[in-house]
Amino acid sequence: MARMERSCFTLDLGAVRRNAETLLRAAEGAELWAVVKAEGYGHGAVDVSKAALEAGATALCVATLPEALHLRAALRNARILVMGPVSERELGEARIARLELVAADGQVPEGVRVHLKIDTGMGRWGLSEIPAPTRDVVGVMSHLASAESDPAFTQLQVARFREATAGLGSLTRHLANSAAVLRFAESRFDAVRCGIALYGISPFGTDPADEGLEPALRWESYVALSKRLEPGESTGYGRRHVADRPTWIGVVPVGYADGFRRDMTGTDLLVAGARRRVVGTISMDALAVVLDAPVEPGTPVTLVGDGVLIEEHARVADTIAYEIAVGLNTRSGRARRVAVDG
C-alpha cells in the first residue's frame, strides 16, 4: 500500500501574493485585475482569487458565467468581470450576481455594468468602433495579440487603443496582459489584466525568475515500482522505448488523465530530488522514468516544482505553458489539492 498521494497539487498562496505584488509594482499605479478563468489556469480559482485580492488586486476576470457564479458564491463583494460571451438566458443571473460583462458584438446589455471591447488587432472579439457609451458602461478594453513576441505590433495596438479611447477618460481603460505589463509601460492605462504571471509562469516561456516571479504550484507523486529492463525489453504501450542495455526504470502512477500529456515524453522530473528523463508512451494513469539504480517504492517524485518548470514541459510538448497548466487535472477523484501559506 502506498503511503504517498498518487497525484498531489500544492498551491503556494504566498507565491501568488508575491507575484501579485510584483505585478502591482510593474503596473505603476494602474489597478491589477486577476485573471482566473479556467479554474485559475488549473491552479484553483477561489484560492488564487483570495490571495490576489489580499495582495491588492481589485477585480477578478473569468471567461464564462458559470465561472463567475462559482467565484461569487465564495467572494460576496469582489468585482467580477466576465470577459467571454453571455447568453440571453444567463443575463438575468449576471444581474442578480452583480457581475460585469463585456460588450464585444454590438449589443450592449442593460441593467448590468458593461465594458466595451474594441478590436485593435487581435482579430477576434471586439467592435471595430466604440459605440456611444450607455449609462451602464464603466470600462473600455481591448486585447493584445502578441505582447510576448512582437513589440512593433504591440505598440501599434497600444496607439490604436489610446486614440480610440481618447475622449473616454471617465471610463476605466484596460488593455495589458501579463507580457505587456512586464514589457510595455505605455500599455498600462487604468487597469491591467494579468493571468499567467500571477501563477509564477513566464508569459515569455523562459525562466519566471527572470521576471521576479515564483511558480505557485507543485505537483507530486511517487515511484510505485522499480523495474529492470533487459536489452530488447520495452516499457509502455507501442513499445516506443526499448532498452539497448540493462536499464532501471521507475513507474510513476500519473498519466495523461492527470494532465501529464502524451507529448511530454522526453521531459524531466525529479526522483528524490534528482532529474530523471520520462521515456516511452505516457499512459492514462502511468508513466516511466529512467533511473540509474532501483529506488524504494514510495520514493517522492516532483512533476512540477523545485526547479522543474511548466515552461520546460511545454517546450517538450511544443506548446505554451498556459495549455499545460490549464490541462492539469486537479479535480477530486484524480488528485488531492491543498493550499499552503508559504
Ligand X SMILES: *Cc1c(COP(=O)(O)O)cnc(C)c1O
Q: What is the 3-state secondary structure (H, E, C) of 207-256?
A: CHHHHCCCCCEEEEEEECEEEEECCCCEECHHHCEECCCCEEEEEECCCH
Indicate the residue among 179 and 243 with the shorter CB distance to ligand X.
179
Assess 196 for contact with ligand X (CB under 6 A): yes
Question: How far apart are the C-alpha atoms of 180 and 203, rounded to whole Å?
Answer: 9
| 56-75 binders of ligand X (CB under 6 A) | none
Indicate the residue among 126 and 236 with the shorter CB distance to ligand X.
126
Question: How far apart are the C-alpha atoms of 21 and 44, rounded to whole Å?
Answer: 19
| 29-48 binders of ligand X (CB under 6 A) | 35, 37
Question: How far apart are the C-alpha atoms of 228 and 230, rounded to whole Å?
Answer: 6
Indicate the residue among 178 and 302 with the shorter CB distance to ligand X.
178
Which residue among the candidates 227, 237, 256, 322 is catalytic per the annotation?
237
CB of 109 to ligand X, least distance (A): 18
Indicate the residue among 124 and 331 with the shorter CB distance to ligand X.
124
CB of 251 to ligand X, least distance (A): 35
Q: Is 237 a catalytic residue?
A: yes
Q: CA distances (Å), 260 to each of 125, 153, 192, 326, in order?
A: 31, 34, 31, 11
Assess 202 for contact with ligand X (CB under 6 A): no
Place of cell 513499445: 239
> Quick one: CA dihedral 167, 168, 170, 176, positive or negative?
negative
Assess 83 for contact with ligand X (CB under 6 A): yes
Number of residues that bind ligand X (CB under 6 A): 13
Q: Give me the helices (H) in the chain, please.
A: 13-27, 37-41, 45-54, 65-74, 88-96, 151-164, 178-183, 310-316, 321-327
> What is the phi-psi region of residue 238: left when phi exceeds 0, alpha when psi lies from -120 to 50, beta otherwise?
left
Place of cell 516511452: 280
Assess 23 for contact with ligand X (CB under 6 A): no
Indicate the residue among 35 and 288 with the shorter CB distance to ligand X.
35
Place of cell 495523461: 256
Residue nearest ligand X by beta-carbon distance: 195
Which residue among the candidates 37, 41, 50, 222 is catalytic per the annotation?
37
Q: Is 37 a catalytic residue?
A: yes
CB of 38 to ligand X, least distance (A): 9
Assess 208 for contact with ligand X (CB under 6 A): no
Q: Which of 154, 178, 235, 299 binds ligand X (CB under 6 A)?
A: 178
Assess 126 for contact with ligand X (CB under 6 A): no
Question: How far apart are the C-alpha atoms of 164 and 127, rounded to whole Å?
Answer: 11
Q: Which of 7, 157, 177, 330 binds ligand X (CB under 6 A)?
A: 177
275: helix, strand or coil: strand
Indicate the residue among 82 and 229 with the shorter CB distance to ligand X.
82
CB of 18 to ligand X, least distance (A): 17
Residues belonging to the active site: 37, 237
Q: Which residues bind ligand X (CB under 6 A)?
A: 35, 37, 83, 143, 177-179, 193-197, 203
